[in-house]
């Protein structure tokens, strides 16, 4: 771009900026994405392996367009599954439907980070908590309903047809979902302004041209690099993948325990999953209170050094340590009460602490990685999704062999011992997390970008305040004056470099990777 370029940015009170939306509108969008994520995993009890790159790609093309395209393909793939009479076709298109469901699973966190800034971190945490709860509760509720459909429907294929109709019913929500990605909104505005006679109007991120190959290398290569080189990503992925995989492992184990060993009627075999849902809700509802309680809970100095700052992200992992300890307890509880000689309520109740531990592990580790990698949080989330879905697709395959050879007691205990051996991971993060963050090249790169943006934003805001002049009467908030190298927005004249900084400041870039494109 030349010196005559006029940069389009958000004004401080611009209603098109998702961070300035009303509280009710933000809540409505959160409800939309929670319902869509719930539906995406509702049919995952048939095993899906979604792609992990939906999140980074949404940073390139916005949030709404990937939802529309992927949900249309999702409906189409499930239409084939629901009405095909060929097993090969069902398996192939079921696999494809899993890939299409990835968008609803990967992009929810990005949408919420688009809408909430650092002032609204508590509201964002609550929204993420319910979003994650929907992802974990979806498969469990699907099992409860699926057993009833299997018994009372004319054909077992109606299990898949009900899911297909569910995806169609939710199609209007996809169309109602607004765009929340700041750079995409600004690009659309600059395009409109160019059509209206302002040929030099461009959004800030459009000022630096990048080829398609460069975009893919940056946005798709970074998650792979993180997965291989970052111990924090690896440790978090191990725990969240194990917890998620055990949920799918239970899809095979619960029917054996309650149908074969406790002689439940087939249609009632899925009801014990409700205990896991209760545990999930018990963690999601008071999540903020739990975090605050555990942050101030004293622990031995050999776990958390005495000089650890009170706002260190590692302190949130005290709650993770509790959840990781609760996980093997719940698994051993379930394992050794699963036999027919024990009343069925005993293994059923074990699902409550398991659900609590599972969702808490998910919350705490994802929050920790997001705080560590800040603007690269979408890439860190993609790493976690990839590992989680790999394990989630693998565990059900081996579950039958494990239970058949070891029985439910020792078969489930295997995972209890594995989780017991992994408890040192949150302890190591509590003890050495600050050092790991300091030695992480990507974490330091992300923090350096954030620090630079904050410094530039502060300088730009100070300069803009000093240069404020009256509003032009014939201009709207986002109209621009085609003056060489300047923009006029709410009467504030800034340089092109200052405009970029104002945009970075107004967007705040919480969990957004787009500064890489600037």
Write the pLDDT tens digit of every residue in 482-514: 333 333 333 333 333 333 333 333 333 333 333
The CATH number of whichever domain residue 428 belongs to comes to 1.20.1250.20
> Is 100 contained in some domain?
no
**DSSP state at residue 256:** I
> Is 65 contained in some domain?
no
Q: Give the span between the Cα atoms of 130 and 18, in whole angstroms.
A: 20
pLDDT(278) > 90: yes
> Is 433 contained in some domain?
yes
Contacts of 119 (CB under 8 A, 6+ apart): none
Q: Give the span between the Cα atoms of 349 and 389, in whole angstroms.
A: 27
> Is 293 contained in some domain?
yes
pLDDT at 105: 77
> Is 80 contained in some domain?
no
Structure tokens at 416: 């209890």
- Beta strand 6-8 with 201-203 is parallel
Name which residue leads in pLDDT, 145 or 388: 145
Q: From residue 415, give the alpha-carbon distance in Å to each of 272, 352, 418, 513.
A: 20, 17, 5, 36
pLDDT(47) > 60: no
Which of 80-94, 106-120, 352-366 comes out lowest in average pLDDT? 106-120
Which of 246-255, 329-338, 345-354, 495-504 comes out lowest in average pLDDT? 495-504
3-state class percentages of the chain: helix first, strand second, coil last, to nearest 5: 75, 5, 25
CB–CB of 54/70 below 8 Å?
yes
pLDDT at 471: 43
Name which residue leads in pLDDT, 427 or 225: 427
CB–CB of 230/379 below 8 Å?
no
pLDDT at 219: 63
> Is 341 contained in some domain?
yes
> Is 159 contained in some domain?
no
**DSSP state at residue 470:** P
Mean pLDDT on 423-439 = 91
Closest CA to 257 of 353, 185, 173, 342: 342
When divided into structural domains, the chain yields a total of: 1
> Is 244 contained in some domain?
yes
Q: Give the span between the Cα atoms of 184 and 180, in whole angstroms.
A: 8
pLDDT(223) > 50: yes
pLDDT at 102: 76
Domain that holds residue 344: 231-439
pLDDT at 452: 66
Structure tokens at 518: 């600037």
């Amino acid at each position: 771009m030349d010196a005559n370029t006029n940069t389009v940015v958000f004004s401080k009170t611009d209603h098109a900026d998702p961070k300035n939306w009303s509280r009710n509108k933000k809540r409505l969008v959160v409800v939309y994405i929670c319902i869509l994520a719930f539906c995406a995993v509702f049919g995952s009890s048939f095993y899906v392996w979604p792609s992990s790159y939906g999140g980074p790609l949404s940073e390139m093309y916005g949030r709404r367009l990937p939802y529309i395209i992927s949900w249309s393909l999702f409906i189409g793939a499930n239409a084939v599954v629901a009405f095909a009479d060929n097993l090969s076709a069902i398996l192939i298109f079921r696999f494809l439907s899993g890939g299409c469901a990835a968008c609803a699973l990967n992009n929810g966190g990005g949408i919420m980070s688009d809408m909430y800034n650092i002032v609204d971190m508590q509201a964002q945490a609550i929204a993420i908590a319910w979003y994650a709860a929907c992802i974990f509760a979806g498969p469990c509720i699907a099992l409860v309903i699926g057993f009833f459909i299997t018994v009372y429907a004319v054909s077992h294929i109606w299990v898949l047809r009900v899911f297909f109709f569910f995806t169609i019913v939710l199609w209007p929500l996809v169309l109602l979902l607004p765009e929340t990605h700041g750079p995409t909104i600004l690009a659309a505005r600059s395009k409109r302004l160019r059509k209206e006679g302002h040929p030099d109007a461009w959004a800030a991120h459009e000022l630096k041209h990048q080829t398609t190959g460069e975009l893919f290398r940056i946005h798709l290569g970074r998650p792979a690099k993180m997965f291989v080189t970052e111990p924090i990503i690896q440790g978090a992925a191990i725990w969240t993948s194990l917890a998620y995989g055990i949920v799918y492992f239970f899809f095979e184990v619960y029917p054996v325990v309650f149908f074969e060993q406790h002689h439940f009627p087939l249609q009632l075999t899925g009801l014990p999953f409700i205990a896991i849902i209760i545990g999930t809700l018990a963690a999601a509802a008071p999540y903020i209170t739990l975090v605050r309680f555990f942050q101030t809970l004293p622990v031995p100095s050999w776990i958390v050094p005495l000089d650890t700052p009170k706002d260190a992200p590692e302190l949130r992992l005290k709650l993770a340590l509790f959840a990781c300890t609760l996980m093997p307890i719940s698994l051993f509880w379930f394992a050794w009460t699963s036999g027919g000689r024990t009343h069925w309520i005993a293994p059923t109740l074990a699902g409550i602490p398991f659900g609590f531990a599972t969702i808490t592990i998910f919350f705490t580790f994802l929050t920790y990685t997001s705080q560590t990698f800040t603007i690269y949080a979408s890439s860190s989330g993609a790493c976690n999704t990839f590992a989680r879905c790999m394990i989630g697709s693998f565990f059900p395959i081996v579950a039958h062999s494990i239970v058949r050879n070891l029985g439910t007691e020792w078969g489930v205990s295997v995972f209890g011992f594995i989780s017991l051996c992994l408890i040192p991971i949150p302890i190591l993060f509590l003890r050495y997390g600050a050092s790991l963050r300091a030695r992480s090249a990507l974490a330091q790169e992300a923090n350096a970008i954030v620090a630079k943006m904050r410094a530039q934003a502060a300088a730009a805001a100070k300069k803009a305040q000093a240069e404020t002049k009256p509003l032009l009467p014939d201009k709207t908030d986002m109209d621009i004056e085609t003056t060489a190298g300047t923009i006029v927005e709410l009467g504030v004249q800034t340089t092109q470099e200052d405009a970029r900084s104002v945009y970075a400041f107004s967007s705040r870039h919480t969990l957004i990777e787009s500064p890489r494109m600037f």
